[in-house]
């Protein structure tokens, strides 16, 4: 099986992301580890980029952080990421669907967004 973490930078990035999400949730390493039913020392080492986490570990951490595991799986390279065109379409669709915006606000935001992602 190909190692999605062949690059040490990918391991580091994933670890930093997990740590950032844990801090946003205002959880200590020990508390998240208990919630996720993983070892706190292993979680700490993953956050530091020293170990390659398994799919089960990432699933447990995602559950502990009330996140979808696919976020971590995409970062790990196990699932395809959104292509830039798809991402732009998704942002535009979200703006169009936001009922909190008036038609004028929606139009202005869409114009602004398009001008920023497609400068000509």
Nearest to 38 by CA among 51, 26, 25: 51
pLDDT of residue 2: 43
pLDDT in tens, the chain (120 residues): 444 555 678 888 899 999 999 999 999 999 999 999 999 999 999 999 999 899 999 999 999 999 989 888 888 878 776 565 667 788 888 888 888 989 889 888 888 888 887 765
Domains in the chain: ranges and CATH: 8-76 (1.10.260.40), 84-117 (no CATH)
Residues in Cβ contact with 81 at an 8 Å cutoff, skipping those fewer than 6 apart:
74
Q: What is the CA radius of gyration of the chain?
A: 18
Closest C-alpha to 69, from 14, 5, 10: 14
Tell me the angle at which helices 29-36 and 40-47 cross, rounded to the nearest 10 degrees.
Answer: 120
Q: Return the pLDDT at 94.
A: 86
């Amino acid at each position: 099986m190909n190692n999605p973490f062949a690059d040490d930078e990918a391991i580091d990035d994933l670890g930093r992301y997990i740590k950032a999400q844990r801090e946003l949730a205002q959880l200590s390493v020990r508390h998240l580890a208990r919630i996720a039913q993983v070892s706190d020392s292993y979680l700490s080492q993953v956050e530091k980029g020293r170990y390659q986490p398994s799919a089960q570990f990432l699933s447990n951490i995602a559950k502990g952080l009330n996140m979808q595991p696919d976020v971590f799986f995409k970062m790990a390279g196990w699932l395809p990421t959104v292509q830039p065109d798809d991402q732009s379409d998704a942002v535009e669709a979200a703006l169009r669907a936001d009922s909190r915006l008036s038609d004028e606000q929606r139009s202005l935001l869409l114009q602004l967004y398009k001008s920023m992602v497609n400068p000509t």
